């Protein structure tokens, strides 16, 4: 896995304050040991921290992203909402769209499609999350769900140059459970085939895995050739665990 481009994307969810940047700075200092490898580190943090963190990390090797965005490109009467113009202006280079926690709260594939279009219009790179629930997995609907999410979320999108795909089985998020190697490899290949079917000229399809990624299971995950990196939740809030994940990836 060390001979390809890897993404290590931290999703802090509802965590962090202005002083928490020390965790990211510790990681930044340690990244020099991996400089012979090709990788990208991104931290998707709460809206309240984007402006401050992006300024402090401007000269570093770490990029900042948002965890969600409103679908409306223009400003509007949506109290409490933040659109792609606003996160771009604050300093975000990336944004997570379609995370299962937001799908549960009402993000349909149609809304996700609008969010993607708005963000791409503002030159923000997308981390598009897709994945099945435990019930859908048990009912053998994984492929149908993944295909539906890919087709509808990317309707009208002409290029995936600035889109990274994150396969996050809903049943694995925060549970400590991870798909076995065969299952994960099969699903990643299926996702790649569906993207290739939709975008015939797509050459670089970046697919990450997310869902209870930690230093204990990273060696097994690293053995899957089709992965291009990880969307890391809880472990991204610890500089030690995050660096351990990279250490075991590039050992």
**CATH code for the domain of 204:** 3.20.20.70
> What is the spatial distance between Cα 251 and Cα 249, in angstroms, rounded to a whole number?
6
Helix (H, G, I), strand (E, B) or coil at 219: helix
Specify the length of the chain in residues: 251
Active site residues: 99, 168
User: CA-to-CA distance for 100 and 149, rounded, in angstroms?
Assistant: 12
If the chain, 251 residues long, is cut into consecutive pieces of 10 residues, what is the mean pLDDT of each piece? 77 98 97 93 98 97 98 96 98 98 96 98 98 96 98 96 96 88 95 93 88 95 93 98 97 86
Phi (first) and psi of residue 95, to 5 degrees: -150, 140
Q: What's residue 48's pLDDT?
A: 98
User: Could you tell me if residue 1 is inside a domain?
Assistant: no
DSSP 6: E
In a domain, 122, yes or no: yes
**3-state DSSP call for residue 73?**
coil
Do the domain assignments include residue 156? Answer: yes
Beta-ladder partners of 159: none
Instruction: Determine contact, residues 236/43, Cβ cutoff 8 Å.
Output: yes
Our count of domains for the chain comes to: 1
Nearest-10 crossing angle of helices 239-249, 21-30: 30
- On whether the CB atoms of residues 5 and 206 are closer than 8 A, the answer is yes
The model's pTM is: 0.96
Residue 2 pLDDT: 40
Which residues contact residue 79 at a Cβ distance below 8 angstroms, ignoring those fewer than 6 apart?
Answer: none
Residue numbers of the domain that contains 205: 6-249
CB atoms within 10 A of CB 165: 28
| Alpha-carbon gap, residue 153 to 149, rounded angstroms | 6
**Residue pair 137/183 in contact by the 8 Å Cβ criterion:** no
pLDDT at 1: 41
Q: Which residues contact 149 (CB under 8 A, 6 or more apart)?
A: 98, 109, 130, 131
Q: Which residue has the tokens 């799908």?
A: 103
């Amino acid at each position: 896995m060390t001979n390809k481009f890897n993404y290590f994307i931290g999703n802090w969810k509802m965590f962090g304050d202005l002083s928490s940047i020390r965790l990211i700075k510790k990681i930044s200092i340690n990244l020099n040991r991996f400089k012979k490898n090709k990788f990208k580190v991104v931290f998707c943090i709460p809206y309240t921290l984007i402006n401050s963190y992006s300024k402090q990390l401007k000269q570093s090797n770490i990029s900042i992203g948002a965890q969600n965005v409103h679908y409306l490109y223009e400003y509007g009467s949506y109290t409490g909402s933040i659109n792609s113009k606003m996160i771009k202006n604050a300093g975000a280079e990336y944004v997570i769209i379609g995370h299962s926690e937001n799908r549960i709260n009402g993000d349909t594939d149609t809304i996700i499609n609008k969010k993607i279009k708005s963000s791409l219009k503002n030159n923000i790179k997308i981390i598009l999350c897709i994945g099945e629930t435990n019930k859908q997995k048990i009912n053998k609907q994984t492929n149908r769900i993944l295909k539906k999410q890919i087709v509808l979320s990317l309707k009208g999108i002409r290029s995936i140059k600035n889109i990274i795909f994150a396969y996050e089985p809903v049943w694995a998020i925060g549970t400590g459970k991870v798909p076995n190697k065969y299952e994960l490899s099969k699903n990643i290949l299926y996702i790649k085939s569906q993207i290739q079917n939709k975008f015939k000229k797509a050459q670089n399809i970046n697919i990450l895995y997310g869902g209870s990624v930690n230093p204990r299971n990273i060696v097994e995950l690293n053995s899957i050739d089709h992965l291009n990196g990880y969307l890391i939740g809880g472990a991204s809030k610890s500089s030690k665990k995050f660096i351990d994940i990279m250490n075991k990836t590039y050992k």
